[in-house]
Amino acid sequence: MKTQFEHRRQRLLPWSDFLARVARYTLFAIALMAVSLGIGTPGYHILGGLNWIDSFYMTCMILTGMGPVVDMKTDAAKLFSSFYALYSGVAFLSVTGIFLAPIVHRVLHILQVESE
């Protein structure tokens, strides 16, 4: 079984390969954020009755953990907003972890940290 990252006994990945890895992980993180925006913006527009700019703004604020900026009036909008906020908490942490994984791995690989 081939692993994504090199083992601690293996040589450090060359700089160009490391940058390519960071780029792949960054693109994946951006794709996840785009999917999240693609779920939230239409949801707030349709269910919350917000215009597109306000829907995008609300989605961004919820995704980054800043909180809602508009009160939802209907029960459907409140339910969507609640579930989207729960999803956003997990999504934000996941995207952050995906983005930082190759960088943290490289630092730990350089320091040769061994987990026991």
CB distance 59 to 37 below 8 Å = yes
Query: Tokens 């995207």 — which residue?
Result: 95
Structure tokens at 116: 């026991």
What is the per-residue pLDDT across 60-101, written as a single tens digit (0 to 9) for each?
Answer: 999 998 988 999 999 999 999 999 999 999 999 999 999 999
Alpha helices in 1-116 (DSSP H): 15-46, 52-63, 75-111
Which structural domains are found in the chain, ordered by start?
A: 32-109 (1.10.287.70)
Which stretch of 8-22, 41-55, 63-77, 93-107 has the lowest confidence by average pLDDT? 8-22
Alpha carbon distance 64, 58 (integer Å): 10
Identify the residue with better confidence: 69 or 4: 69
Q: What is the mean pLDDT of residues 50-62?
A: 96
Alpha carbon distance 71, 100 (integer Å): 34
Write down how long the chain is.
Answer: 116
Give the per-residue pLDDT at 10: 79
12 SS3 class: coil
Using the predicted structure, report yes or no on whether residue 20 has a pLDDT greater than 80.
yes
Confidence class of residue 1 from pLDDT cuts 50, 70 and 90? very low
Q: What percent of the chain has pLDDT over 70?
A: 94
CB distance 48 to 55 below 8 Å = yes
Instruction: Write phi, then psi, for 115 (nearest 5 degrees).
Output: -90, 135
